[in-house]
Structure 1
Amino acid sequence: MIIHTFCFRWKPDTTEAQKERAYDEINELHLQIPAILETNVGANFSPRSQGYEFGGVMKFADRESLDAYNNHPVHLQLLSWLVPLIEPLEVDFEV
C-alpha cells in the first residue's frame, strides 16, 4: 500500500471560498478516480505546522495506482487552478 500525504501553505491572496473549494474537490476525488482507496483532509492545527494550514492523506494499492491518480484528468484539472494558490509539500511512502 502507498500512503500519499500532502500539506499546503496558502498564498496570501487565497480566499476562503478557494480554500473551501480545495477541501471539497480533494475530499471528493475518490468518487471520480478509482485508484484512490481512501481520502482524509482537513485543517492543520499542529503548533509545529510551520505555516502549513491544510493537509491530507490518501491511500493507494500500489505505485501504479498512485501514478494513475497523478495523471488522471480530474486530478490535473484540480491542479490547474490550485497550484497557483499554494506552497505544497508532499510525502509518499510504502507500508
Structure 2
Amino acid sequence: MIEHIVIFKFNEKTSEHEKKEAINQLKSLKQKIPGIVDIQAGLNFSDRSQGFDVGLTVRFEDKQSLEEYGPHEKHQEVVSYLKEIGLSDIIVVDFEL
C-alpha cells in the first residue's frame, strides 16, 4: 500500500466555498480512478498550519496506481480547478505502508 499526503495553500482571494468544492472534487476521485483504496480530505483547523488550508490523504493499492493517478484525466481536471481558485503552494509526501 502507498500513502499519498498533500497539503494545499490557497491565496487570500480563495473563498471557503471554493475550498469546500475542491475537497468534494478531490474526494470524488475514488469513484473515478482505479487503484484508490481510500481518500480523505478536509479543511485544516490547526493554527500550526503555516497557512496551509486543505489536507488530503489517498491510499493506493501500489506504486503503479500512484504513478497512474498523477496524469489521469480526472485528477488533472481537479488540479486545473485548484489552480483556477488560487492554489499557491503544495507539499506532497508519499510513503509505503
TM-score scaled to structure 2, two decimals? 0.89
Q: Deviations over 1:1-60 (max 9, x none)?
A: 110001111112112232121011001110111221100111112232111121011100
The two structures, once aligned, show a CA RMSD in angstroms of 1.3
Is 2:29 aligned against 1:21? Answer: no
Runs of 4+ in 1 over 3 A off after TM superposition: none
Paired position in structure 2 for 1:69: 69
Give ranges in structure 1 of 5+ residues lacking alignment: none
Paired position in structure 2 for 1:79: 79
Indicate if the aligned counterparts of 2:35 and 2:62 stay in contact, CA closer than 8 A. Answer: no
Q: 1: distance between equivalents of 2:83 and 2:93?
A: 17
Indicate if the aligned counterparts of 2:20 and 2:43 stay in contact, CA closer than 8 A. Answer: no
TM-score scaled to structure 1, two decimals? 0.90
Paired position in structure 2 for 1:53: 53
Residue identity (%): 36
Give ranges in structure 2 of 5+ residues lacking alignment: none
